Chain A
Amino acid sequence: MVLHDLFFYILAAIILGGGILTITRRNAVHSAIFLVMTLIGVAGLFLHLQAEFLAAVQVFLYIGGITVLFLFVIMLVNLDEAAKQRQFNRQWGLALGCVLLLVAELGYFLYQGKDSFSFAESSGALLQNNTQEIAMSLYRDYLLPFEIASLLLLVAIVGAVVMAKKQI
């Protein structure tokens, strides 16, 4: 069980470290690489919870699809100007104060409820074939919300194309 917890903390460190580096790098390509690191960490967390299908889809869609498209756009756009500009504006002190306040508040409440935290026991045999489980819940139990969500995404795609193209 110690190993189990250790993996969680390693993955959490990868996710948070990757996230922080993503927003602090000057070079947009480096940011994208650290974003990949974060996403791999999330995929690892899914694996850790025995959700293999979600882990594979996370890697396939987010790293293999979305980040690759990010990189594609970054390479097409000239970012030399952006890299020379200031990365932080003058209000960073105020923002830091707000963040510290929020951290203190969240930390206080988390400390109050610390007894109710425990790592979830993986249900083992129950989740054996979670590809089918996901298919069942998406296409049978929650078919209507799923279809509505996919329709919304389709509308968004069509809208983006209409707005981006002058002549169709």
Chain B
Amino acid sequence: MAEFLAAIESYLQLPYVKPTLYIVIIIAVFPLIAGYIVLLERKVMADIQARLGPMRVGPHGLLQPLADAVKLLLKEDIIPAKADWLLFWVAPIISVVTALVAFSVVPFSDWFFITDTNIGLLFILSISSVGILGIILGGWSSNSSYPLLGALRSTAQMVSYEVALGFAIIGGLMVAGTLSMQEIVRAQQEQQVWFIFYQPLAFFIYAVAAMAETNRSPFDLPEAESEIVAGYHTEYSGFRFSLYFLAEYTNIVIVSSIAVTLFLGGWLRPFPNVEWLDFLNYCPAVAMLAIAGMSFLGAVREKRWMEQVGMGGLGAVFALLGLLFLLPPVLVAVQGLFWFLLKVFLIVYGFIWIRFTFPRYRYDQLMKLGWYWLIPLAIANVIVTGIVMVLL
């Protein structure tokens, strides 16, 4: 057994093994996570609108994403007769691939990251700007009016807000002094402050521009259902449609990850340098045990025995995870991962919250907000940051 473990250990030290393993893990797990973000979105929407949301598939609709995925995969895949079939075929792939490739430099924790380059943040920005091509080509190749309108709206919107987004990020970068994602987090540890406190304005501009970049409400004009059916993906069905959906939710997670890394301390726990707050290190275990407790409570309140067993099993899994996290080496290993994912979750939750509480902008209002307010504010923020940094 010991020899076997040693063999695995030595194998893991080879240069490309760990990154490949992480890539496989992320690509395998992320579509499932995206499905559950959709469920979260539907549940939060239902809560805000005083409804229950999906309740039929599994206890509290917990298996709904799986049912949705099966439905989308089994649906007929329609390519319109007059579509440019090659581009129609390629466009969703461009969207998904560029969105997933951006994960390659996201620092999930101090050990769980695929790679770390000295242009990390710039790499994410550039690869996600290529993702726009997927939307434009999807809209154009459908050879239909509404998708074309959606694609045009999307292009103008993304090109406009990319400028504000870039300048907001420059504000954060000036404080960090590096483009490498890991180094940005380390810089926050060294300066003992999350950069949101140095750059609150940049964070605000970033959050607004990121919402516009990911076509989220209140900036969801490219897919405004009351005006242009479903925008650029009107003609898409089945699996291809689900690829667009996957790309959209991947982009949401990516922009949240950038926000967390650049402004909210990445995988650092709150107050990482304050020793008397070290009890916060037990948060991962406590959170798991709390979820387990709530699952058991839910199991008792279920009516049908199937769902009682389901909720009870879920509770048992989380309880086991919680107990596992109490082991010191495991606790150290999951520490960064837990805080990073918690922060990303909170930002994604904020995105969903805003989606269902803000009305949609009109198109001229959208452009005015971008060009008259966000871009000048972001440039002013960069200039003021520069002056302050020179003076101090």
**Chain A residue with the shortest CB-CB distance to B122:** A56
20 A-B pairs whose Cβ atoms sit less than 8 Å apart in the complex? A27-B84, A30-B87, A33-B87, A52-B119, A63-B129, A65-B159, A65-B162, A68-B129, A68-B136, A69-B155, A69-B159, A71-B140, A72-B136, A72-B156, A72-B159, A75-B151, A129-B118, A130-B118, A131-B118, A131-B119
The residues of A that contact B117 with a CB separation of less than 8 Å are 52
Report the tally of A-B residue pairs with Cβ distances under 8 A.
Answer: 75
The residues of B that contact A33 with a CB separation of less than 8 Å are 87, 137
The residues of A that contact B126 with a CB separation of less than 8 Å are 56-57, 59-60, 63-64
Residues A80-129 near B (CB distance < 8 A)? 128-129
- Say yes or no for A14: interface residue by CB 8 A criterion: no
- Say yes or no for B179: interface residue by CB 8 A criterion: yes
The residues of B that contact A27 with a CB separation of less than 8 Å are 84
- Say yes or no for B221: interface residue by CB 8 A criterion: no
Asked if A72 contacts B122 (CB within 8 A), the reply is no
Checking A30, A60, A76, A130 against B129 with a beta-carbon cut-off of 8 angstroms, the contacting residue is A60
The residues of A that contact B156 with a CB separation of less than 8 Å are 72
Asked if A29 contacts B155 (CB within 8 A), the reply is no
Asked if A29 contacts B87 (CB within 8 A), the reply is yes
**In the complex, what distance in Å separates the CA atom of A40 from the CA atom of B210?**
25
**In the complex, what distance in Å separates the CA atom of A88 from the CA atom of B1?**
72
**In the complex, what distance in Å separates the CA atom of A129 from the CA atom of B151?**
38
The residues of A that contact B158 with a CB separation of less than 8 Å are 68
Checking B119, B137, B151 against A56 with a beta-carbon cut-off of 8 angstroms, the contacting residue is B119
**Chain B residue with the shortest CB-CB distance to A43:** B126
**In the complex, what distance in Å separates the CA atom of A131 from the CA atom of B180?**
11
- Say yes or no for B341: interface residue by CB 8 A criterion: no
The residues of B that contact A63 with a CB separation of less than 8 Å are 126, 129-130, 133
Residues B96-155 near A (CB distance < 8 A)? 117-119, 122-123, 125-127, 129-130, 132-133, 136-137, 140-141, 148, 151-152, 155
The residues of B that contact A71 with a CB separation of less than 8 Å are 133, 136-137, 140, 155
Check A64/B118 contact, CB under 8 A, given A72-B152, A75-B140, A75-B151. no
- Say yes or no for A36: interface residue by CB 8 A criterion: yes
**In the complex, what distance in Å separates the CA atom of A56 from the CA atom of B105?**
13
Asked if B118 contacts A59 (CB within 8 A), the reply is no
3 smallest CB-CB distances across A and B, nearest first, come from A64-B129, A60-B126, A59-B126
The residues of A that contact B129 with a CB separation of less than 8 Å are 59-60, 63-65, 68
Checking A59, A65, A75 against B152 with a beta-carbon cut-off of 8 angstroms, the contacting residue is A75
Q: How far is the CB of A153 from chain B (nearest CB, A)?
A: 15
Q: How far is the CB of A32 from chain B (nearest CB, A)?
A: 9
Asked if A128 contacts B118 (CB within 8 A), the reply is yes
**In the complex, what distance in Å separates the CA atom of A36 from the CA atom of B130?**
9
Asked if A72 contacts B133 (CB within 8 A), the reply is no
**In the complex, what distance in Å separates the CA atom of A68 from the CA atom of B133?**
7
